[in-house]
Structure 1
Amino acid sequence: MIIYFAKKFLLLQTFLLFVFSQFGTSQNVSDGFLTISKHIRDGQVLVSKGENFALGFFSPGVSTNRYVGIWYNKAPENPVVWVANRDNPINDSSGILSIDAHGNLVLRVKDQNQSIWSTNITSKSTNKSTFAQLLDSGNLQLALDKTSEVLWQSFDYPTDTNLPNMELGLDRSTGLSRILTSSKSKDDPGTGNCSYVLNTNSSSPELYLYKSNILLWRSGHWNGIGWSGLPQLSKSNLLYNYSLVNNQTETTISWTEILPGTFQRSVVNELGYIERLLSRDTREGGKKWISLGKMPDKLCDNYGKCGTFGKCQLHNDTRFECTCLPGFQPKSPSEWLSRNASGGCVRKRGQESICKSGDGFVTVENVKLPDSSVAQLDEKLRFEECEQKCRQNCSCTAYGGVATEEQVGCLRWHGDLIDTSVLDGGGQNLYVRVDALELGHSNGFFANKRRLAIMIVALLVTPLLIFLSAYWLIRRKRKARERQLKFFIDATTSSTTFQDSQKLDEGRRKPDLPIFDISTILTATDNFSPTKRLGQGGFGPVYKGQLANGQEIAVKALSRSSRQGTEEFKNEVTLIAKLQHRNLVRLFGCCIHKEEKMLIYEYMPNKSLDFFIFDEIGRQLLDWSKRFEIISGIARGVLYLHQDSRLKIIHRDLKTSNVLLDAAMNPKISDFGLARMFGDDQIEANTKRVVGTYGYMAPEYAMEGLYSTKSDVFSYGVLTLEIISGKKNNHYHVASPWLNLIGHAWDLWMEGKALDIVDSSLGQAYPAHEVSRCIQIGLLCVQEQAMDRPTMIEIVFMLGNETPLPAPKKPAFINRRNISNGQDSSSSTGALGSINDVTMSALEAR
């Protein structure tokens, strides 16, 4: 019996030694610190204070070699993010990591004085004056004990992984260059032949990916918001923010996570691509790493795919992806016929045809601009002056704007244009220099003669036009001053008139709303720099800014071409200035300068709800508890508008893009340009001008122009169903039997399968009873008859209590398609026809 147990013990001991040999034992040392009296041996692990990362000895894959590295302590599969002795492994378990007599962090083998790896800093201090600490960011730092001055850190010597707040690039003061290099293989973390580098040798930095010193891919130049060759990152911007520093001291790039509680990393792979990974929950309850994308991913991502002066564009058919830029032709037509474009293109009539009378520029739209490492950058030059600068130099072959909107800045290429490709997600315009003959072909036959005739006519009528323009400008300025004066008189002194001629006391008071000077707004937004631009709507652009007191703001600038005019601007100023609620966006003030009108809001770092709920990656970050908080928060905000505010307000444009999210993902209702005030005893109103957004409008409003608090209830019901399903109400696939989300939800409800509408990204990680209750509330809100819909106070009560709910009646707008013959069915399960069949000339999309 004793022999039997001894054998069992030996087997167990062998198994434990095998398991612990991968990442050491679970024996943790200190609270993330190493000192002269605290070191770690193979089998011991140093864990950061928040337990995000661990430092210790490990063996990768099937290898038996031992390395010192840092790995995720709580993430799936515990991937290694940094290796100290990647090119000098230890072949047994005798390794010790400690601080030596010179204050360096040193890796050595037991009973041997020679170090295998060291931080190798030059310091006059002794070992008693330094300590090492593993931070929760994954950064291992060696610092002085008394001053905490950092002498060395692992973030300055990355291996194959880029973590949040880790800088890549050049520190010019020390000469330190930070790049990522791949491992040799999964079993060997040694320095591989793929590298990820920030190019710091040009005035316009770009990220480059090399394999064996051959350039595989580049990111495109930095446009102030992100990489111009990756417009999808700049547009969504849901998970992380990039930051570039480019000055005389350093040229570095780093990124930060926007949402807390997520693990993200970028890894340069030994196969030759850079991949971004995110740790997320699975349906089974655990976590796994998912890919957010890798580069190069498509054929046109490969650097120089179509050679010099070539353009790459993927097609849905079998056409060759390479063509020449305007004014150029294949250098070797025979090679192009065999689909080999490596030789590139040459000018049709030679370089001598340029810089002669009649030459000009042809626009190539929506492209990833050529390699900017050979381009000349003028960030402060107005884009309108860019063409003139390029035209003055015969060697200038093309120009383009720095920012995506091409409002400021100038990039000019002198020489070859390489790696130009068409972008699906919206690129920039490239203006290629061509000779007079090519320009005539591009603009149509006899284009130059027409241009000459236009110039003659222009010279004849110029004096008259100057006089008329001056007269028009004087009158325009006079009328603008009159409109501004009338606006402020109306906004500050007049009472608010309702349709029933009632007046509110609040209307007689001046709104407590600051008027910002234009100089303050210009300073806050860096003169409306493209780098501060957050987005674009039907009203105009929105810019991020920061006031002198540090307050972050969002400036909504109403463009002259905006569909939203003075009435909507005045309406928002007079309404939202009087509202204060945690689920309503806060208006700080307004600014009027000449013809420009601006609204200044609190800044919402997580943009609007539609950026998350309708994005394949973004909605994975919204678990059910967060979605329920958003549903409840919107309900409380609408209830405040309908009942608890000083003014009874109908929003009339509730939708996902008008629900903003703050840093904690709390919802805030915005955009009150279409809102209307009601009297306390007013039930409904009528309008001949139906405005709003298709898919969210109640049937009585869309058909008859009648609106009330129940109109907002209908919109809230659509919002609720969209948040639960992750689908837009009016964007159903043509093959679907349902015209919209409402019809789909109603059919599933009638079949007892309501939970089938739940967003698949939630998996099974949600309380079925609570979700089903929210679906029922959503269907109650979209009932066809306004009188059948609950009020907002009833909805808030339903969300917060487990009381029985009434059965919903059939909703509006639930026509079905006849899939068998490919036509929409003319029959409807609702009394009203689908609004797909209704034309509203007064309908305004927003």
Structure 2
Amino acid sequence: MSFSSEAFIQILLIFLLLPSSICQLPLDTLTPNQPIRDGDVLVSSRKLFALGFFSPGNPQHRHVGVWFYKVPEKTIVWVANRNHPVNDSSGVLSISGDGGLVIHGKDQSTPLWSANVTLSSPNNFTAKLRDTGNLVLLENGNQRVVWDSFDYPSDTVLSSMKLGLDRRSGLEWLITSWKSKDDPGTGSCTYGIDPRGSPQLFLKKEGGPLWRSGPWIGDRWSGEPQLSSTVGLFNLSFVNNEDEISYKRVVANDSLFTRGVLDESGIYQRLMWNDKENKWIELVSDPNEWCDNYGLCGPNSNCDPYNDYKFACTCQPGFEPKSPSDWYLRIGVGGCIRKAGVSVCRNGEGFVPVNRVKVPDSSTAVRVNMSLSLEACKLECLMDCSCTAYTSADERGGGNGCLTWHGDLMDTRTYPKVGQDLYVRVDATSLGNRRRNKCSFILTAGSTYFEESSGGTAFDDSRINSELAFFHLKTITTATNNFSIENKLGEGGFGSVYKGILHNGKEIAVKRLSKFSGQGVEEFKNEILLIAKLQHRNLVRILGCCVEDEEKILIYEYLPNKSLDSFIFNETKRALLNWTKRFEIIFGIARGILYLHEDSRLRIIHRDLKASNVLLDNSLNPKIADFGMARIFSGEQSEANTNRVVGTYGYMSPEYAMEGLFSIKSDVYSFGVLLLEIITGKKNVGYYHEEYPNSNLVGHVWDLWKEGRAVEIFDSSIEEYLVSEVVRCIQIGLLCVQEYATDRPTMSAVVSMLGNDAALPSPRRPAFLLKRMTPSGEPSSGEGANSVNDVTCTIVEGR
């Protein structure tokens, strides 16, 4: 059947003359003639966000909200009628002259919510949902925005949304928590900028501060060092002028879904959607550590969460506890006051630096002068007897601008790496004592002595990190109940590990060298020197040491889930590690080794990677432990030789076990064995299978791989897993245990392989090492094969 051109034109004219109500407007636009009714959904042009009615908890309570359109879970980012829900499905969102945007229920006479905008001619306005998630009310002709939802946020900050204050209108941009997970009503927690003094972000509950960011220092907030790690992911903008104070974060790739959300308990999280894992991934959480809690230690104090070995609260230089008897019993009660009987006014006083801190609260009793250099700032503060401390207002370019405090120093805390230097006013006596007592301790054969260090000279690698704590033996014996059997966590060739509890309630792990151990001072010193220099989420953290009488003791963070081998080789507990968690553990171990090989200040070969040297924290995240056998490589050095082979059979590469040649590829081999053990739940050494009686675990995996049956070796205790992902990991494991070191990938390549789906090379026949078994059936340890989570290594070479 065909139409003539005249017939086609007639049909087209009939269509164009039909009532406009059947012509669908763009999905992202609301017009006076087309309101949004309960059940309708407005979608942004690129289908990134949606708007409509929803019920967060009670199905009878209907709210208008905005959510991510492409995220499977309905993640609400804005709510209009937070405190006035529609009590049935009769709700309508429409454009009105009286209110601009309004929500009505059954009662059409009184709106439940409005944008509080008066429109002289509502037919000249439309509402549009933008791809930023911002709902805007526009004047049709000039597209002027007369109202937008970003000015009235709920509990969520989106990319491009401002926090701060419009000084012209007095409008404050801040987010407020929901009342509960099921009630989007206005809660008691807020997150926004306090414009007083030097502006800061504050998280408050019922008006009282819970956490603050510290002042803006040019490229980040003083108290958010983690912002340095998001460079490239976000573009940050801070404005402070006569019109406004504002801060916004714009995601560099607008295809990424990110949000900052404040929950009803007062926790603010920045999250990113992970399509592969189909879940939100946490980037930042505030407060995150206990020292993040506002004013925890009281005025004129400093909180250092990394000094777990001692009381975290310390007084600022020149100050002492206001209530000494209560100071250690109740966290920082009363704070600190200036030492009695001292003068800090034109009496030879000076300043002591407190390094790497979030500077004190800058909202009150603070002065800002951007025209001064740091040196001029020091003189300005020195000449004013009320000035208690100073720092640079902008850290860029070596520091410029001047920030001075003229009262109590509230809410200072320390960071491990990135932070500002605060200069605190002290009296002449305290200043002189500090200069005389600046010292470091050096471990010698079985004893400790102090050496006065000359001004600012860097310590060489033979010295312990000056921030590492030296514990008294009495402190350790008290913490471990005199090394009681009830506190014992494990034992190896080096001695024993005990759980301890310090006087402030902090749990620690105490590694005590046996007097009869083959380990010596050099190995003990090696572990301290190495691990004290390392900072990574997948490495165990050392807190300090004790060398007293005949004792040599290392103190670590306590990890309650003990070691990985206690899970994967235990018939009951290994079922607790599903495939997702095992993959996360594999990935975490790989990142930790990559840090040792390439990303730390030192190039470190661990030399004793195995399941018992991977510890698990509360969330079962892996942390590599035991650096007693590790070696530092210098410059571009990539391999070395030793006459003293140390490590554990079954994990040692063939070139190391037989020739004493070790390199980063030795660790790669050990990682490959460990990866296969995690996948199978079986030990490499001592493994036996009747079908392949002459193979260890690696050999059995290889035989099955050749036959296309590799997945059969997968731990049978796991029911749900992605076959392709398991097979890929097995292939990566086989690539890591190749016989020749040159055939093995680097750890950077391994991390890349684990993180994407690119094609992998085919493995060749792996190396098979004969096992030497102890009578108990466990792998042998000692020189030539020595390690039971202990401290044995060769000489440290500084880089």
Query: TM-score, normalization: structure 1?
Result: 0.55
* Residue in 2 that maps onto 1:420: 412
* Residue in 2 that maps onto 1:43: 39
1:206 to 200, 221, 227: 200
Q: 1:79 to 1:326 in 2, by over 3 A?
A: same
Distance in 1, matches of 2:128 and 2:138, equals: 8
Q: 1:725 to 1:141 in 2, by over 3 A?
A: farther
2:96–2:119 contact (8 Å) kept in structure 1: no
Q: How does 1:614-693 map to 2 (within 5 A)?
A: 692-693=635-636
1:133 alignment partner, SS class: strand
Distance in 2, matches of 1:151 and 1:723, equals: 61
* Residue in 2 that maps onto 1:589: none
Q: How does 1:320-359 map to 2 (within 5 A)?
A: 320-336=311-327, 338-339=329-330, 341-349=332-340, 353-359=343-349
1:112 aligns with 2:104: no
1:369 aligns with 2:365: no
CA displacement 1:344-401 (0-9 Å, x = unmatched) = 2221236x71222321112223322111223223345332333222112111111123
Measured after TM superposition, the shift of residue 188 of structure 1 is: 2.2
Distance in 2, matches of 1:223 and 1:737, equals: 53
2:184 to 185, 189, 196: 189
Unaligned runs of 5+ residues in structure 1 are 1-27, 448-609, 628-652, 659-689, 701-713, 728-735, 739-745, 830-835
1:444 aligns with 2:431: no
Distance in 1, matches of 2:357 and 2:762, equals: 57
2:736–2:744 contact (8 Å) kept in structure 1: no
1:55 aligns with 2:47: no
Tell me which amino acid in the other structure corresponds to 1:365: N
Tell me which amino acid in the other structure corresponds to 2:361: D
Q: How does 1:547-586 map to 2 (within 5 A)?
A: none
Distance in 1, matches of 2:415 and 2:383, equals: 30
Q: 1:441 to 1:765 in 2, by over 3 A?
A: farther
Query: TM-score, normalization: structure 2?
Result: 0.58
Tell me which amino acid in the other structure corresponds to 1:752: V
Q: How does 1:190-269 map to 2 (within 5 A)?
A: 190-202=185-197, 204-235=198-229, 237=231, 239-258=233-252, 261-269=255-263
Unaligned runs of 5+ residues in structure 2 are 1-23, 440-534, 541-579, 588-595, 602-632, 643-662, 677-682, 686-694, 703-709, 751-756, 787-791
2:136–2:145 contact (8 Å) kept in structure 1: yes
Tell me which amino acid in the other structure corresponds to 1:364: V
**Larger relative contact order (CA 8 Å, sep ≥ 6):** 2
Distance in 1, matches of 2:217 and 2:776, equals: 47
1:355–1:394 contact (8 Å) kept in structure 2: yes
Measured after TM superposition, the shift of residue 773 of structure 1 is: 4.7
Q: 1:328 to 1:769 in 2, by over 3 A?
A: closer
CA displacement 1:226-259 (0-9 Å, x = unmatched) = 2221223324657544332222222111113355
Distance in 1, matches of 2:51 and 2:130, equals: 10
1:158 aligns with 2:107: no
1:195–1:211 contact (8 Å) kept in structure 2: yes
* Residue in 2 that maps onto 1:490: none
1:306 alignment partner, SS class: coil
* Residue in 1 that maps onto 2:386: 395
Q: 1:143 to 1:717 in 2, by over 3 A?
A: farther
* Residue in 2 that maps onto 1:22: none
Q: How does 1:61-210 map to 2 (within 5 A)?
A: 61-62=57-58, 64-101=60-97, 104-110=100-106, 112-124=108-120, 126-202=121-197, 204-210=198-204
Q: 1:769 to 1:194 in 2, by over 3 A?
A: closer
CA displacement 1:539-578 (0-9 Å, x = unmatched) = xxxxxxxxxxxxxxxxxxxxxxxxxxxxxxxxxxxxxxxx
Measured after TM superposition, the shift of residue 316 of structure 1 is: 6.7
Q: Which deviates the most, 286-295 or 38-47?
A: 286-295
2:378 alignment partner, SS class: helix
Distance in 1, matches of 2:744 and 2:194, equals: 60
CA displacement 1:729-766 (0-9 Å, x = unmatched) = xxxxxxx999xxxxxxx9864451899999x9x97485
2:672–2:735 contact (8 Å) kept in structure 1: no
**How many residues are matched?**
548
2:294–2:411 contact (8 Å) kept in structure 1: yes
* Residue in 2 that maps onto 1:452: none
* Residue in 2 that maps onto 1:527: none
Distance in 2, matches of 1:404 and 1:725, equals: 44
Distance in 2, matches of 1:614 and 1:260, equals: 34
1:384 alignment partner, SS class: helix
Q: Which deviates the most, 286-295 or 181-190?
A: 286-295
2:376 alignment partner, SS class: helix
Distance in 2, matches of 1:222 and 1:134, equals: 32
* Residue in 2 that maps onto 1:807: 765
* Residue in 2 that maps onto 1:378: 369
Q: 1:338 to 1:74 in 2, by over 3 A?
A: same
1:108–1:116 contact (8 Å) kept in structure 2: yes
1:219 alignment partner, SS class: strand
Q: 1:406 to 1:328 in 2, by over 3 A?
A: farther
Measured after TM superposition, the shift of residue 698 of structure 1 is: 8.8
Q: 1:212 to 1:726 in 2, by over 3 A?
A: farther
